[in-house]
Homo-oligomer: A and B are copies of this chain.
């Protein structure tokens, strides 16, 4: 196992320390229980937006804490749900009196632990709502998931709902907008290689020299099919077809196209993927009105990519364009 780490036990903690050292103007890190929180939290009268999940998907979620996006993020151990105490303390830390929204990716542990934290926070008088992200069209159920997994749409939801909260939307409005983002977003991923979870020390799954996994999950969960390596064009066609027919997206739609690297994929390849996706969308009369290209929801050093399409309307477009200033996503500020 080749990694730039000190000990397996300290990976998450020391990475958080690095974030705290680098971004003290934007965030603070609370330890034990661990969470990343906006430096200016709590903000009186603003809905708090929280997410969290296993570590290993950086910059998600801690890198999205800041102005116009998340108020706090709760990192679990690598590929392991955070515990309820993390979400409870984060919820209390960002509570400005207007309630707190939990953005939860659909994995059984995450859902259960966020629910428990919400109950505990409500018992302390904090209004909490939750939205589940389940945008992965690859498989119906999966390892650790009943129903569809939550993947790339999470990033877009955190940006869009964060902008709504920053603009003064109340908890019901934030919940409505988050639900709309989930309803309008569809994703699918693929892997060329596995990643290595530090505590395991060996690849999560084995792929042959000429194989790839289509529909892979962000923890290396099995996808739809394992097949012989194909060209970028054929791979994007398979993923785009699955995504486009699922919503379904239709001619005349405006979309946000998100081409995401899994952590070990060079940017030069992500632009080739984007190029193929743009051609497919153009041929179907779908306009890519906004885009995001890069490593935003990763799986450690996995080589591969995912595609997310989000159907845009005026409200979602305006909120996407709103200023954001976090360690990993920044514009207009």
| A residues apposed to B, CB below 8 Å | 2-7, 11-12, 14-19, 21-22, 55-56, 58-59, 63, 192-193, 209, 212, 229, 231-233, 235, 263-275, 278, 288, 291, 293, 295, 298, 300-301, 303-305, 327, 330-333
Instruction: Report chain B residues within 8 Å CB of A274.
Output: 18, 21-22
Instruction: Report chain B residues within 8 Å CB of A267.
Output: 58-59, 63, 263, 295, 298
* Contact in complex: B265, A229 (CB < 8 Å): no
Q: Which A-B residue pairs are the 8 nearest by beta carbons?
A: A18-B271, A18-B275, A58-B267, A4-B269, A2-B192, A15-B271, A18-B274, A21-B278
Q: Bound complex: CA of A201 vs CA of B232, how far in Å?
A: 16
Q: Bound complex: CA of A324 vs CA of B229, how far in Å?
A: 39
Instruction: Report chain B residues within 8 Å CB of A232.
Output: 4-6, 14
* Contact in complex: B269, A3 (CB < 8 Å): yes
Q: Bound complex: CA of A295 vs CA of B233, how far in Å?
A: 25
Nearest CB on B from A296, distance (A): 10
Instruction: Report chain B residues within 8 Å CB of A19.
Output: 271
In the complex formed, the residue of B with least CB distance to A232 is B4
Instruction: Report chain B residues within 8 Å CB of A21.
Output: 274-275, 278, 288
Nearest CB on B from A320, distance (A): 15
Pairs across A and B, CB under 8 Å, 23 listed: A2-B209, A3-B269, A4-B304, A5-B232, A12-B268, A15-B272, A15-B275, A18-B270, A18-B271, A18-B273, A18-B275, A18-B278, A21-B274, A21-B278, A21-B288, A56-B266, A56-B268, A263-B266, A264-B301, A264-B303, A266-B300, A267-B298, A331-B331
* Contact in complex: B265, A4 (CB < 8 Å): yes
Identify whether the interface residues of A are mostly helix, strand, loop, or mixed. mixed
Q: Bound complex: CA of A222 vs CA of B288, how far in Å?
A: 43
Q: Bound complex: CA of A11 vs CA of B270, how far in Å?
A: 11
Instruction: Report chain B residues within 8 Å CB of A209.
Output: 2
Instruction: Report chain B residues within 8 Å CB of A2.
Output: 192-193, 209, 212, 229, 303
* Known A-B contacts A268-B11, A272-B18; A4 and B192 likewise in contact (beta carbons under 8 Å): yes
* Known A-B contacts A291-B22, A293-B22; A272 and B6 likewise in contact (beta carbons under 8 Å): yes
Instruction: Report chain B residues within 8 Å CB of A6.
Output: 231-233, 272
* Contact in complex: B271, A22 (CB < 8 Å): yes
* Contact in complex: A266, B18 (CB < 8 Å): no
Q: Which of A14, A63, A264, A271 has the most CB of B within 10 A?
A: A271
Q: Bound complex: CA of A266 vs CA of B303, how far in Å?
A: 11
Instruction: Report chain B residues within 8 Å CB of A300.
Output: 266, 268
* Contact in complex: A11, B272 (CB < 8 Å): yes
Nearest CB on B from A63, distance (A): 7
> Which residue of the partner chain, among B193, B231, B331, contacts A330 with CB atoms under 8 Å?
B331
Instruction: Report chain B residues within 8 Å CB of A17.
Output: 271, 275
In the complex formed, the residue of B with least CB distance to A233 is B6
* Contact in complex: A58, B272 (CB < 8 Å): no
Nearest CB on B from A254, distance (A): 15
In the complex formed, the residue of B with least CB distance to A207 is B2
Instruction: Report chain B residues within 8 Å CB of A7.
Output: 231
Nearest CB on B from A9, distance (A): 13
